[in-house]
């Protein structure tokens, strides 16, 4: 994401993650088309809760049950190609330290295991899902929720360029000239807020950490100023900083009672490996 923002600024001017270990080279052989290879283990928890905790009493028993997280472990391998596309493989598996919740519950897996994806392969703009017997159960062009989620994570994990202080200031000036509203966060002088407002009054706000040179959060607001989505990133300090955790939430109004609900997805990363062929 920072690389994408850097591209905007320049054009307008002319994640081992646990335990504090450094990232290292992976044994994965890089295809000729790939510039970067990354691999990591990730535990993702997904749950549904009201934005205002006081609204919980308005929910039905079924809606309350959705607050119980669905936890999935995956081993992920991704190649970021020279043309900007991302290929990869997501292998579902139980990882050490995963919390356990009773399976027969509302909001839990109800799909027969034959149709539950255990492996997802992303290649050439298409996503193919396989079951535990390695049989194809679905095939679609990119856009599947799981595939797109890991694509966004790959963008953050692959960042590795640190700018000098002068280069960083030059980049911020580029955002200002590009029409972004630039300001320093009132609670943390190390955070620069970059606000882009669309013609229809929707807004996107990036929170950029000057020290780590990373996007720490990204928020999208509708035309009325109501928060629609929020992504937050936690990095292990270093040069470059390495992503260790991610939290994402998207909001909607429940059709039955109008309660504003948040769908939360949190991720913890470990055993991160990276290799570059630039």
Q: Which two tokens stand for residue 249?
A: 């939430």
Distance CA 128, CA 133 (A): 14
Taking each helix axis from N to C end, the angle separating 2-13 and 165-177, rounded to the nearest 10 degrees, works out to 70
Q: Which two tokens stand for residue 253?
A: 């109004």
pLDDT of residue 15: 31
Distance CA 210, CA 227 (A): 24
Q: Are 265 and 45 in contact (CB under 8 A)?
A: yes
- Among 98, 97, 107, 101, smallest CA distance to 67 is for 107
- Domain spans of the chain, in order of start: 2-276
pLDDT of residue 65: 80
Distance CA 75, CA 92 (A): 7
- Residue 141 pairs with which residues in a beta bridge? 126
Enumerate the H helices of 180-219 as residue ranges. Answer: none
pLDDT of residue 10: 34
In three-state secondary structure terms, 12 is helix
Distance CA 231, CA 13 (A): 28
pLDDT of residue 38: 87
Fold of 2-276: outer membrane lipoprotein receptor (LolB), chain A (2.50.20)
Distance CA 181, CA 177 (A): 9
Distance CA 152, CA 86 (A): 10
Distance of CA 208 to the CA centre of its chain: 16
What is the DSSP-derived secondary structure letter of residue 146?
H
Helix (H) or strand (E) holding 7: helix 2-13
Distance of CA 273 to the CA centre of its chain: 17
**What does each C-alpha distance from 101 to 35, 48, 75, 109 come to in angstroms?**
39, 15, 21, 12
Per-residue pLDDT of the chain (278 residues), as tens digits, is 444 443 333 333 333 333 333 333 344 566 777 888 889 999 999 999 999 999 999 988 878 888 888 899 999 998 888 877 788 899 999 888 887 766 545 445 566 778 888 899 988 778 899 998 999 988 876 555 665 566 666 666 655 567 888 888 889 999 899 899 999 999 999 999 999 999 999 999 999 999 888 889 999 999 999 999 999 999 887 766 778 899 999 999 988 888 999 999 999 999 888 887 76
pLDDT of residue 149: 65
Helix (H) or strand (E) holding 207: strand 203-209
């Amino acid at each position: 994401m920072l690389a994408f923002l850097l591209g905007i600024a320049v054009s307008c001017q002319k994640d081992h993650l646990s335990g504090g270990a450094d990232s290292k080279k992976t044994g994965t052989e890089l295809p000729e088309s790939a510039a970067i290879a990354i691999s990591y283990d990730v535990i993702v928890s997904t749950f549904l809760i009201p934005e205002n905790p006081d609204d919980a009493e308005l929910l039905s028993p079924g809606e309350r049950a959705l607050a119980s997280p669905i936890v999935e472990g995956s081993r992920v391998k991704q190649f970021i190609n020279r043309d900007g596309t991302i290929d990869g493989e997501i292998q579902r598996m139980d990882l050490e330290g995963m919390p356990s919740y009773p399976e027969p519950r509302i909001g839990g897996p109800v799909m027969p295991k034959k149709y539950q994806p255990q492996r997802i392969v992303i290649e050439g703009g298409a996503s193919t899902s396989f079951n535990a017997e390695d049989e194809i159960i679905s095939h679609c062009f990119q856009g599947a929720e799981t595939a797109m989620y890991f694509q966004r994570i790959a963008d953050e994990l692959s960042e590795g360029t640190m700018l000098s202080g002068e280069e960083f200031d030059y980049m911020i000036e580029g955002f200002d000239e590009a029409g972004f509203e630039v300001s320093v966060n009132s609670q943390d002088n190390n955070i620069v807020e970059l606000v882009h407002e669309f013609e229809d009054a929707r807004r996107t706000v990036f929170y950029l950490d000057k020290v780590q040179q990373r996007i720490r959060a990204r928020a999208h607001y509708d035309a009325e100023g109501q928060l629609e989505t929020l992504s937050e990133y936690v990095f292990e300090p270093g040069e470059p900083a390495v992503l260790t955790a991610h939290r994402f939430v998207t909001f909607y109004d429940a059709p039955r009672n109008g309660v504003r609900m948040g769908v939360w997805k949190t991720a913890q990363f470990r055993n991160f490996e990276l290799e570059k062929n630039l």
